[in-house]
Amino acid sequence: MKVAFTAQGNGWYEKVDLRFGRARGFFVVDTETEEATFIDNAANVEAAHGAGTSAAQAVINAGIAALVTGHVGPKAGSVLKSAGVKVYTTEGNITLKEAYQKFKEGKLTEQAL
């Protein structure tokens, strides 16, 4: 399964970005192999509007099954929900490695979309 984390950078020790649509990118981990990749979200960082729905489409196109972030708004949430992507929330100032560990241990709260 692929899980994406909103990220401030591309590396296990970068911080989780609590913004969904305007996050720098998505740190994607394959939970079976723990191989990580990065999806750049630069196009949405400065977008005037529609950043959340555009980011949601990028997540869906990458085949993501679960997303970990601070919060997803209603429009982006609707897009993710319709594609079957589960959204989990986390607190700020933690690394992607720490967030991944919490995800694996089932310690994150699923956001109702």
Q: Is residue 112 part of a domain?
A: no
Query: Nearest to residue 82, comparing CAs of 70, 72, 68, 69?
Result: 72
Which tokens hold the place of 95? 């690394």
Q: Is residue 109 part of a domain?
A: no
**To 10 degrees, what angle do helices 51-61 and 74-82 make?**
20
Task: State what percent of residues in the chain have pLDDT above 90.
Answer: 86
Residue-wise burial string across 24-49, b where 16 or more C-beta atoms lie within 10 A, e elsewhere: bbbbbbeeeeeebebbebeebeeeee
Q: Is residue 99 part of a domain?
A: yes
Q: Is residue 50 part of a domain?
A: yes
The average pLDDT across 15-32 equals 96
Task: Give the separation between CA 56 and CA 40, rounded to whole angstroms.
Answer: 13
- Residue-number span of the structural domain to which 28 is assigned: 2-104
Query: Nearest to residue 2, comparing CAs of 59, 64, 84?
Result: 64
C-alpha of 41 from chain center: 11
Q: Is residue 84 part of a domain?
A: yes
Q: Is residue 110 part of a domain?
A: no
| Amino acid 12: pLDDT | 97
Tens-place pLDDT, residues 32-66: 999 999 999 988 777 767 899 999 999 999 999 99
Which tokens hold the place of 94? 């933690």
Q: Is residue 111 part of a domain?
A: no
* Mean pLDDT score across all residues of the chain: 94
Q: Is residue 55 part of a domain?
A: yes
Check pLDDT > 80 for residue 105.
yes
CATH number assigned to the domain comprising residue 58? 3.30.420.130
Number of domains in the chain: 1
- 59, 80 in Cβ contact below 8 A? yes
